[in-house]
């Protein structure tokens, strides 16, 4: 038995340990920062003599849907071989995580995001790329447009990132194949055949087909929506000039910058989507899914006739996955535009960017990594794999992939485990699109061609969007937050009377929130940019 004295001593020690642990927890961030800075100095000093010295950098991937959170597979191994950098990725749990990390200044070495550009484009959180380039990577020459875009997010005259997936109209006009990643509608060709191959050229045709599906296959949901793209394809087709992007702004034909809900054609989209719901062609549950896999499960398990997703090899992937689940005849194809003069609008400014944070252990190697990522070699390796093994360059400028690559691409899980082409932080959207166009079915190619030919690039919805911490940004956030929920309410109205009531409520609230004044201000800002 322990004596009373010993017990007291043990209790006191335990108490002291508890205090120290609590205080140590408070101080851990500071310690980590100190270590990081120390590492930076040491690596900087050593960099000249040992450029490829192995470095591990933490990267936060701000996309909860991202294909992978592992830096494993053939391509990551090659990236490490080429650059000496191993990435240690963390995938976001939800859209708010980065905001919390910024608020607590608990940032990793690198942040890959399509949000919070304004906040991260500050010397408080990130290293300026122009400073790092002049110091460590003088041969890195981003385009003037890319620099202008990146500078538009900063309040000083520096740029803190370069966005990937950017390309000019000229580059797209010269592209041999492919199209940007945009919304697309996939459907089951085999089921359409079973229905007697009815026409699917217009939205009316499509709606009729959905009715036939509902009648003949009661266990099947006529239309399933991907959690990210949701109803985007119908916005593309029914709201001319609708532009996908976080700001939800679009440029009209007369160069005004408006919120897409102000488009006169917005009501057409809402009415059409509501018709789909009222007829039972899509479910309310689909709007409550918390992760994308719920929709995918329906699609690959023969529970969906059509699927709102995105362009590329998506229909081929779904075909493979559905067939692997035992539905041997399943064939997914992509629909051609179902409206006349369809215009596919996209931001020419790019999509997501890497920020080299002030917590970065090795800014020198980080900027050199980004330089390599934006190089032609880096872009091709991160998206197409190893030249000569995974692909060979065709005379037409389109890569020809190996059988193994094409087979793996048919199953997302296999593809992102074996090859893992997810670390394309410096990709141009043309390189990406050309790669995605190679080896896909003729149907996918045709759809991509028609989208590319009807492509319209805009920049003002990105460059003239209001900056963080401005009154305009507060209003825009309020509008977008309101629309995110109210639009669903309108679309899921149970009757025409409900629809009208919810729609009237929405327009009244938008006016109350100040959408018109905001558009006037932003249009002026867009004009000044020119």
Partner 1 sequence: MSGTVSRNHKSSGVWRTFRKQKIPQTFAILGIIYLLIFSYVPMSGLIMAFKNYNISLGVMGIFTSDWVGLKHFKAFVNDINFWTIIRNTVALSFLKLIFAFPMPIIFAVMLNEIKQNKIKRCIQTISYLPHFISWVIVSGLAINFLATDNGLINQMLIALGLIKDGIPFLTSAGHFWPLAVVLDVWKDMGWWTIIFLAAITGIDPSLYEAADIDGASRFSKILKITIPGIRGTIAVVLILALGNLFGGGLSGSNFEQSYLLGNAMNLEKSQIIQTYIFKVGLSNGRYAYATAIGLIQSVISLILIFGSNLVSKKVSDTSLF
Residue 15 interacts with partner 1 (CB under 8 A)?
yes
Do residues 72 and 417 lie in contact, with contact meaning Cβ atoms separated by under 8 Å? yes
**Cα separation, 220 vs 212, whole angstroms:** 11
**Distance from C-alpha of 53 to C-alpha of 365, rounded to nearest angstrom:** 10
Contact range with partner 1 by CB under 8 A, out of 6-14, 192-200, 202-210, 352-360? 6-14
- What element of type H or E holds 59? strand 55-61
Residue placing its CB nearer to partner 1 in the complex, 51 or 156: 156
Give one DSSP letter per residue of 115-151, joined into a string. Answer: S-HHHHSSTTTB--HHHHHHHH-TT----HHHHHHHH
Q: Which stretch binds partner 1 (CB under 8 A): 39-47, 69-77, 134-142, 480-488?
A: 480-488
The rounded distance, in Å, linking the Cα atoms of 312 and 450 is 12
Cα 81 to the center of its chain, rounded Å: 27
Per CB under 8 A, does 513 bind partner 1? yes
Q: What is the DSSP letter of 337?
A: P
**By CB under 8 A, is residue 220 in contact with partner 1?**
no
217 binds partner 1 (CB under 8 A): no
Q: Which is nearer to partner 1, 54 or 280 (CB)?
A: 280
Q: Does 156 interact with partner 1 (rule: CB under 8 A)?
A: no
Least Å distance, CB 279 to partner 1, is: 14
> Is 477 near partner 1 (CB under 8 A)?
yes
Residue 3: how many CA atoms within 13 Å on its side-chain side? 3
Judged by CB under 8 A, the residue of 107, 110, 116, 163 near partner 1 is 116
Q: How far apart are CA 77 and CA 75, in angstroms?
A: 5
Of the residues 31, 35, 329, 481, which one makes contact with partner 1 according to CB under 8 A:
481
Helix, strand, or coil (residue 354): strand
Q: How many CA atoms lie within 13 A of 224 on its CB side?
A: 24
- Is 292 among the residues that bind partner 1 (CB under 8 A)? no
Q: Give the CA angle between residues 361, 155, 241 to the nearest 5°.
A: 105
The residue range among 13-21, 40-48, 66-74, 106-114 that interacts with partner 1, by the rule CB under 8 A, is 13-21
Q: How many Å is the Cα radius of gyration of the chain? A: 26
Interaction of residue 471 with partner 1, rule CB under 8 A: no
Q: Min. distance of Cβ 508 from partner 1 in angstroms? A: 10
Q: Residue 132 or residue 479: which is nearer to partner 1 going by CB?
A: 479
Contact residues for partner 1, defined by CB under 8 A: 8, 11-12, 15, 18-19, 22-23, 26, 95-96, 99-100, 102-103, 116, 119, 122, 124, 155, 221, 283-285, 287-288, 290, 468-469, 474, 477-478, 481-482, 484-485, 487-489, 492, 509, 512-513
């Amino acid at each position: 038995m322990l004596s009373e004295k010993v017990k007291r001593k043990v209790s006191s020690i335990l108490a002291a340990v508890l205090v120290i642990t609590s205080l140590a927890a408070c101080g851990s961030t500071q310690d980590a920062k100190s270590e990081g800075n120390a590492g930076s100095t040491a690596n900087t000093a050593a960099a000249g003599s040992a450029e490829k010295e192995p470095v591990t950098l933490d990267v936060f991937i701000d996309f909860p849907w991202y294909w992978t959170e592992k830096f494993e597979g053939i391509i990551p191994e090659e990236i490490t071989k080429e650059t000496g950098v191993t990435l240690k990725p963390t995938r976001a749990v939800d859209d708010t995580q980065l905001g919390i990390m910024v608020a607590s200044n608990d940032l990793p070495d690198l942040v890959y995001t399509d949000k919070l550009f304004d906040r991260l484009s500050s010397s408080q959180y990130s290293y300026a790329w122009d400073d790092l380039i002049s110091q460590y990577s003088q041969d890195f020459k981003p385009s003037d447009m890319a620099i202008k875009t990146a500078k538009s997010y900063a309040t000083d005259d520096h740029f803190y990132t370069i966005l990937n997936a950017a390309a000019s109209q000229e580059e797209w006009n010269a592209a041999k194949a492919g199209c940007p990643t945009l919304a697309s509608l996939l459907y089951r060709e085999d089921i359409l055949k079973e229905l007697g191959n009815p026409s699917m050229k217009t939205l009316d045709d499509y709606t009729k087909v959905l009715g036939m599906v509902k009648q003949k296959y009661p266990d099947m949901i006529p239309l399933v929506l991907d959690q990210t793209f949701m109803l985007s394809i119908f916005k593309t087709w029914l709201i001319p000039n609708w532009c996908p992007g976080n700001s939800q702004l679009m440029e009209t034909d007369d160069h005004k910058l408006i919120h897409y809900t102000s488009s006169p054609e917005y009501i057409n989209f809402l009415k059409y989507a509501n018709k789909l719901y009222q007829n039972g062609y899509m479910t309310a549950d689909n709007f409550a899914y918390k992760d994308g896999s719920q929709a995918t499960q329906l699609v690959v398990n023969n529970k969906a006739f059509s699927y709102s997703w995105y362009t590329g090899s998506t229909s081929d992937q779904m075909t493979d996955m559905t067939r692997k689940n035992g539905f041997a005849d399943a064939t997914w194809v992509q629909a051609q535009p179902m409206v006349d003069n369809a215009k596919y609008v996209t931001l020419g400014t790019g999509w997501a960017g890497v920020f080299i944070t002030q917590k970065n252990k090795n800014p020198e190697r980080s900027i050199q990594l980004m330089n390599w990522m934006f190089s032609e070699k880096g872009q091709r390796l991160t998206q197409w794999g190893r030249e000569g093994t995974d692909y060979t360059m065709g005379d037409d400028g389109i890569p020809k992939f190996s059988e193994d690559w094409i087979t793996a691409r048919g199953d997302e899980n296999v593809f992102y485990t074996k090859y893992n082409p997810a670390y394309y932080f410096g990709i141009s959207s043309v390189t990406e699109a050309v790669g995605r166009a190679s080896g896909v079915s003729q149907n996918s190619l045709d759809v991509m061609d028609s989208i590319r030919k009807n492509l319209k690039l805009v920049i003002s919805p990105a460059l003239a969007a209001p900056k963080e911490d401005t009154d305009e940004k507060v209003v825009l956030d309020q509008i977008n937050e309101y629309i995110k929920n109210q639009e669903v309410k309108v679309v899921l109205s149970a009757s025409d009377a409900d629809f009208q009531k919810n729609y009237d409520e929405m327009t009244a609230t938008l006016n109350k929130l100040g959408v018109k004044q905001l558009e006037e201000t932003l249009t002026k800002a867009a004009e000044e940019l020119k």
